Amino acid sequence: MSTGTSIRLRPYEVALLRGGPRAAVTVAVVALHLRGDVEAGRPGRLRTSEASSEAAGQAPPPQTSPPSQAPPAPPAPASSPDPASSPAPLPPLAEAVRAALARPAGLPQVRDHADVRAALAELQAGLRAAGLLRAFPPHRTRNARRALDALSAEHPLPTSRKGLPESDALMAVALYGEPALHVLVPRFALRAGLITRAEVAEGKGFHSRSPRGGGTGGTAYSCGGGGGGSD
């Protein structure tokens, strides 16, 4: 994030300004899902993926040879990983969300995890220092609203995920919340509890069941460290 006449906001900051802590955590969850680190578990639950667990674990033990065979040759030295092929390091909020999913959990539990609350507080402090967020009462400043309007004009709601870079997908989720989730990761978002289930009423087309406590598409902002706000 930079300040001054030109304000460049990252998706996590955009989501926090637009929809509060829940929106920012949702962007982190989607970022981890696009990397293959997080998947939907039981309905409404998130968990780390098997591929992510294997990548973080140790290599399988070597197989033993039968007594009649010669001992195997020593393994070749491991080559250094290619920096170009290595995934980019995670931002602090996404790293905190992944740590919070050491055990499967729902989005509210992830948001209330101590590490996630600390990462959110750090983001909020940066936004306040940049003059984009006021603490008392907690709301966006005029500069923040202008920045969000400019980003919305620069990044319209996508109509498809095909060919969309990950950075643009995250920015779309940050700017538009639930409508972007419906376009980009509908099955994952529905199973993970990030969006509400659509129902079909005869003669009325599609509509969504409003969840208790508000949906994920609102614009209200709350400055609480781990709660409040709507996505």
Angle between helices 11-19 and 142-154 (to 10 degrees): 120
Angle at 98 (CA atoms; ends 79, 8), nearest 5 degrees: 90
- pLDDT tens, position by position, 50-78: 755 444 443 443 444 444 455 555 555 55
Q: How confident is the model at residue 8 (pLDDT cuts 50, 70, 90)?
A: confident
Q: Cα(131)–Cα(13) distance, rounded to whole angstroms? A: 13
Q: Which residues contact 97 (CB under 8 A, 6 or more apart)?
A: 25, 28, 29, 32, 38, 110, 113, 116
- pLDDT tens, position by position, 119-142: 999 999 999 999 999 988 879 999
Of residues 202 and 46, more confidently modeled: 46
184 pLDDT above the threshold of 70? yes
Structure confidence at residue 60 (pLDDT): 40
Backbone angles phi, psi at 212, to 5 degrees: -65, 140
Q: Cα(63)–Cα(80) distance, rounded to whole angstroms? A: 24
Tell me 105's DSSP state.
Answer: B
Angle at 29 (CA atoms; ends 54, 148), nearest 5 degrees: 150
Of residues 175 and 55, more confidently modeled: 175
Structure confidence at residue 227 (pLDDT): 39
Mean pLDDT for 97-104 is: 96
Pull the structure tokens for residue 2.
Answer: 């930079």
Mean pLDDT for 151-178 is: 97
Give the mean pLDDT of the chain.
78
Contact, 73 vs 81, CB < 8 A?
Answer: no
Of residues 74 and 12, more confidently modeled: 12
164 pLDDT above the threshold of 60? yes
